[in-house]
C-alpha cells in the first residue's frame, strides 16, 4: 500500500536558522518558508535527489508540534511521510486494521496541495506517520 518516502520532517524552534544550516553547511536547495495556518506550522522544504526534508516551526497558539519541541528544545525528527495512491482506501484499510487516524479522520490539504492524513505514533513503532495521496 505505501509507496515512496515523500519526506522526513524535522521539527525545529527556528525554521530560518535550520534552513540556513541546510543551505550553508549542507549545501542543499532550500525553499522559502511557507506559513501553513491550517496545520499550525511554518514549513521549509529541502529538495534532495531521492526525497525531501520538511523543516517545521510551530505557528500559532495551538501548534501540534509545540509539545514535541518542549520535550526536544533543539528540535528532532518529527514524522515520516509515505505516498499512497488512494488516501481514502488507505485510511479505511488502516482503520480496519485498528490503527488510529488522527484528527477527524478526514484528509486535509498538505504542503504540496495534496490530501494528507496522520497516524498515531503509538501504532507505528513510535513514529508519527503521515500519508499523502499523490
Ligand atoms: C503542512 C502540512 C505538512 C505536510 O507535510 O503536508 C505537515 O507535515 S504538518 C505537521 C504537523 N502536524 C501534525 O503533526 C499533525 C499530527 N500530529 C498530532 O496530532 C500530534 O502531534 C500528536 C497527536 C501526534 C502528538 O500530540 P502531542 O505531542 O500534543 O500529544 P501527546 O504528548 O499526548 O503525545 C502522545 C504520545 O505520542 C508521543 N509523540 C508525540 N509526538 C510524536 C512524534 N512526532 N513522534 C513520536 N512520538 C510522538 C508522545 O511522546 C506521547 O507518548 P508518551 O509515551 O505517552 O509520552
Ligand atoms: Co509532513
Task: Summarize pLDDT for 3-29 with one digit per residue, the tens.
Answer: 999 999 999 999 999 999 999 999 999
pLDDT digits (tens, 9 = 90+) for 30-73: 999 999 999 999 999 999 999 999 999 999 999 999 999 999 99
CATH of the domain at 41: 3.10.180.10
Q: Which residue has the cell 525531501?
A: 52
Cell of 132: 499523502
CB atoms within 10 A of CB 93: 13
Number of the ligand closest to the Cα of 64: 1
Task: Tell me the pLDDT of the chain averaged across its residues.
Answer: 98
Domain that holds residue 82: 2-133
Residue 64 C-alpha to ligand 1 middle, in angstroms? 6
User: What pLDDT does residue 103 have?
Assistant: 96
pLDDT digits (tens, 9 = 90+) for 93-109: 999 999 999 999 999 99
Task: Report d(CA 131, CA 28) in Å as an integer.
Answer: 25
CB atoms within 10 A of CB 52: 17
Contact criterion met (CB below 8 Å) for 76 and 8? no
Percent of the chain with pLDDT over 70: 100
User: What pLDDT does residue 59 have?
Assistant: 98
Phi/psi for 43 (5° steps) reads -115, 150
- Global pTM reads 0.98
Residue 130 C-alpha to ligand 2 middle, in angstroms? 6
Q: How many domains does the chain have?
A: 1
For 2, the 3-state DSSP assignment is coil
Amino acid at each position: 500500500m505505501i509507496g515512496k518516502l515523500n519526506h522526513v520532517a524535522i521539527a525545529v524552534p527556528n525554521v530560518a536558522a535550520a534552513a540556513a544550516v541546510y543551505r550553508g553547511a549542507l549545501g542543499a536547495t532550500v525553499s522559502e518558508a511557507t506559513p501553513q495556518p491550517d496545520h499550525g506550522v511554518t514549513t521549509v522544504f529541502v529538495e534532495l535527489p531521492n526525497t525531501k526534508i520538511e523543516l517545521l516551526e510551530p505557528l500559532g497558539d495551538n501548534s501540534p508540534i509545540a509539545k514535541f519541541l518542549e520535550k526536544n528544545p533543539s528540535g528532532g525528527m518529527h514524522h515520516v511521510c509515505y505516498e499512497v495512491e488512494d488516501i481514502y482506501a488507505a485510511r479505511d484499510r488502516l482503520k480496519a486494521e485498528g490503527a488510529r487516524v488522527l484528527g477527524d479522520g478526514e484528509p486535509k490539504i498538505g504542503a504540496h496541495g495534496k490530501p494528507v492524513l496522520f497516524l498515531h505514533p503509538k501504532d507505528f513503532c513510535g513514529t508519527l506517520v503521515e500519508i499523502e495521496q499523490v
